Amino acid sequence: MNIDGLKFSVIGGGIGGLAAALALRQRGAQVTLLEQAAALTEVGAGLQISANGMSVLRAMNVVGETPDGGQLSHGTILRDYRKGRAISRIPPPAAGPTYYYHRADLLDLLHRAALDAGVDIRLGAQVIEVVKHPGEAEVVLDSGERLRSECAIAADGGRSAIRPVLNGPEAPQFTHQIAWRATIPWSHRDETPSASLTMGPGRHVVTYPLRDQRLMNVVAIEERSDWQQEGWRLTGDPDDLRARFADFGGPVRDVLSEVTQTNLWALFLRPVAQNWQNGRLALLGDAAHPTLPFMAQGACLALEDAWILARSFEEQSGVTQALAAYESRRRIRATRVVAAAGANARNFHLRGPMRLAAQMALMAIGPRLSRKYEWIYTYDATA
């Protein structure tokens, strides 16, 4: 199908929305991207883009072979929480290197590429409804303005306001886990910068460098039942963070001692959407398959979605057929990756004899552990 001149409305200016808008525009579509925020500001923290996500960024010419703004990863060090003792080291995936990005830096790269390609980006545009009509989708803004296009793509995140149009109201399930997130200035340089995963009973901390090792990204996860406010930008108390991880020693103690600002993110679980599209409206990224952060694949899955969506329009004979093909191609893989992330949530927080047995196993097989997930990293949506 030749989509040259076909009109698309993309809802959401995050990684998935910008990538989808860019991929469609590069194939000739007329794309309007609607972002409810009044400005694209530096929000969020670090994220990891493994080989499966990097292949999409390269195919869209967002990055080159040596990516701008990305911190090359040399693997992951697994540590015990008491003294920070290294248990094992997981090498980089055989599929290709992972890069650590500040979320704002990756968004900036995608934003500039989308503008250069001719995507019409509208800020302060809050979508309140999407209506399917014969032959088109109508997007209704809170201002009362109505935009009509041949297809609308909802990439408005895990708490998507558009997802209920296709799936009805849903009650998210609290996982009894809270994520503390922070970035801190960092002056220590490592010739082989790596992520560090420090595991303790009911808790774990992930750290990795950003921006040429000038920042350290911190994600501390704890199991709790006394917090159920959903949101990822809630303000936390750094002293409370340190108190809750006071028995963590070694390198992570030094990192936590430097935290001056932190945000809290209560982890709620929504299932992979039962319905992804209706022939004129489709979900993309976390709106379709929200995932816990324990495989670091949320951004990568959104990038894969964007490429497969655009390619489906190239290969199919109409909008309805293209959206059906997109859903068919993405559902099984996304469901499998989401399940893998959920399993890791349990593996990181083992207690008692199970934790000691797991450490013994990691000492023996840790260097080969990345092979377990090669099916994730070797996938190339652009092939």
Query: For 132-184, how does the pLDDT look when each residue is reduced to its tens digit (9 = 90+)?
Result: 999 999 999 999 999 999 999 999 999 999 999 999 999 899 988 999 999 99
Q: 228-251: buried (b, 16+ CB within 10 Å) or exposed (e) per residue?
A: eeeebeeebebeebbebbeebbbb
Do 76 and 367 contact (CB within 8 A), yes or no?
no
Q: Give the whole-angstrom CA distance, residue 283 versus residue 155.
A: 6
Question: Scanning the structure block, which residue is given the tokens 């559902």?
Answer: 331
The DSSP letter of residue 277 is: B
Structure confidence at residue 365 as a pLDDT band (50, 70, 90): low
Residue 231 is predicted with a pLDDT of 64
The full set of domain ranges for the chain reads 7-52+103-170+271-347
Q: What average pLDDT does this structure show over 255-267? A: 94
Model confidence band, residue 48 (pLDDT cutoffs 50, 70, 90): very high
Residue 319 predicted with pLDDT over 70: yes
Q: Which CATH class is domain 7-52+103-170+271-347?
A: alpha beta
Q: Is 144 left (phi over 0), alpha (psi -120 to 50) or beta?
A: left
- For the stretch 63-70, contacts whose Cβ atoms lie closer than 8 Å and that sit 24 or more positions apart, written own/partner, are 63/109, 67/99, 68/109, 69/101, 69/102, 69/105, 69/106, 69/108, 69/109, 69/211, 70/99, 70/100, 70/101, 70/105
What pTM did the predictor assign? 0.94
